[in-house]
Amino acid sequence: LISLSSLLVSSFLLLMLCGVGGEVSFYSSPLPLIYDDCLEAEVEVRDNGRWKKRQVCVYRQRRLSGSTLVIRKKNGGIEREFGLEALCGVMMEQKEGVRFPLLIGFTREIVRIGFKLADSVVRWKRFMEKICGETTSISSLILEHIPFLPPFTTLGHNAAILIMGSRLSIVDTQKEEVVHSAPLTHIELITAIDNSLWISFDDLRKNPDEYFSLESMKAKEILNYFRELREVKCLRFKMLPYKAKCNSRAEA
């Protein structure tokens, strides 16, 4: 009886202690027992080209390294989980059928979540950016050329550039994979020729073809954005003036 009473008292004290810093999580995994804030939703998650009903949850802690995105199956079992310290950007996309998609990019993987309401997408994007910082997204791009290094073998796919904090990521939004992700300080050169934006990184220098070319009707405007970004963040990558193929004339 004494042993049972001690066990009950210890359990009660543990629950009280957990309740001080936040709410209690009953999941059997490395998920935090104590967290500062939480956002949950019944959604659809795209997996291998198919939308599957899932429950997603973001646990926010005081430290970024402890914040987590969790995807659970309908029976409550954890399917996947991601530490938000690896987040490289979030981007709202155009409505797809009855879904309002939110693309969540990590340094090695992409998660696409479909919400029923447009307001839900905005709420989730703001919540995640409150934890990790705002994202600058450049969409409506097409992969023209990528380094000949596996798995960088997909051309002609829709793509986007995500910039969060001090990291730039090029993502294949069609194949749902990260093509390349690196710190902004690893950018070596950016230029634009006609409707093509060219980016090279100093960590991909093995041969002259180690560059990324992305087609965009707004290549010149994007180049101007990177010129401003270089000044604001005091970056040192090289920039060449915009050049139109039609007249081979450089413009400022």
Domain ranges of the chain: 22-133, 134-252
Measured CA distances, 174 to 94, 141, 160, 179, 215 (Å): 13, 11, 10, 11, 15
Which CATH architecture is the domain 22-133 placed in?
Answer: Roll (2.30)
Residue-wise burial string across 213-225, b where 16 or more C-beta atoms lie within 10 A, e elsewhere: bbbbeebbebbeb
| Integer Rg of the chain from CA | 22
Can you give the pTM of this predicted structure? 0.80
Instruction: Give the integer Cα–Cα distance in Å for 86 and 55.
Output: 21
Query: 134-252: which CATH topology?
Result: PH-domain like (2.30.29)
Cα angle: 150, vertex 151, 154; to 5 degrees: 115
What's the confidence (pLDDT) of residue 206? 65
145 and 159 Cβ atoms separated by less than 8 Å: no
**Does the fold of domain 134-252 match that of domain 22-133?**
yes
Mean pLDDT by 10 residues, the chain (252 residues): 46 40 34 66 94 94 81 90 94 95 96 97 94 95 82 80 97 92 95 96 73 96 98 96 71 44
Listing DSSP states for 92-129 in one string gives: E---BTTBEEEEEEESS-EEEEEESSHHHHHHHHHHHH
Cα angle: 240, vertex 243, 246; to 5 degrees: 165
E strands present in 5-49: 23-24, 34-35, 37-47
Question: 7: which 2 tokens?
Answer: 């066990």
